[in-house]
Amino acid sequence: MNQQSGQVAVITGAASGIGRGLAEHAAKLGMRLVLADLDGVRLEALCAELRGGGAQVVACVTNVGDLEQVERLRDVALDRFGEVDLLFNNAGVMQTGYSWEITAQQWQRMLDVNLCGVINGIRCFVPLFLRQGRAAHVINTASLAGLLSSPLMAPYNVTKQAVVALSETLHYELSMLGAPVSVSVVCPGPVASEIMASNQVVDGAGSSFSQLLDSSIRQGMTPAELAEQVFAAIAEKRFWVFPHKGFKVALQQRVQSILEESNPQFNMSDVEENTHAAR
């Protein structure tokens, strides 16, 4: 998909981390922006900064886990700009801890934001793209956790692997229809962000793991570097977006374990070597 000045991009989770990097990059390209986040203060601050640079941008405080709020986000985009070209389903939160110690409320929060947020985005915007009848692109932020599981990250692993499966299914469905709508799934390793601030730490072994993960994330790829790779993939209509390449040996080992029906193995050094995910 050619990236042109004036295209309309809707970005969820835009106030920080990857979302902010995507918004800043899109603004540099001259795109018109509809930015969504639950943190209204930070969202408005970002929009004011981008407007100061000449960008056309509207803020829409949105809980992506609520379908009605995502419908409102779509309507805001249409009311302001009349069309949408790019949808970035990017909002996400983190939860660590032993699978059996994570509360029902914590599990539900992860499902609502990380998975239902993407589902709601697809339900609200894909019919619009099909009605528009021209090139458009859905970009879903998953994670290397969408391909590789690690201990103490069950809700994150589950939701991100579901996002990968949903993205692949959507790609097949749109291809089957011959629709001019492309799909990309972004599977990064650590990207410098504050996602761990959303982690409701469970006491026990998860605490030390969370500290290790937080340190890895804060030292990760910059959101600006990631955004550059994501927009390059959009231009190529590329489905798989792997900003971090070092995970492929671990992925090959996982596939081999499946083919051989052998028990999976986990090495904690994988986390330290950036083979596991976080946004």
Q: Which residues are catalytic?
A: 156
From CA 101, how far away is CA 108, in angstroms rounded?
14
Q: Which of 125, 51, 119 is nearest to 91 (CA)?
A: 119
Q: Is the dihedral of CA 195, 190, 137, 119 positive or negative?
A: negative
Q: Which of 117, 113, 274 is nearest to 188 (CA)?
A: 274
Question: Which residues are CB-contacts of 254 (< 8 A; sequence separation ≥ 6)?
Answer: 147, 148, 264
From CA 139, how far away is CA 89, in angstroms rounded?
6
From CA 186, how far away is CA 243, in angstroms rounded?
8
Q: Which of 68, 63, 81, 67 is nearest to 13 (CA)?
A: 63
Q: Is the dihedral of CA 143, 146, 150, 152 positive or negative?
A: positive
End-to-end CA distance of the chain: give it in Å, rounded.
25
Strand, coil or helix: 215: helix
The DSSP output letter for 258 is: H
From CA 238, how far away is CA 234, in angstroms rounded?
6
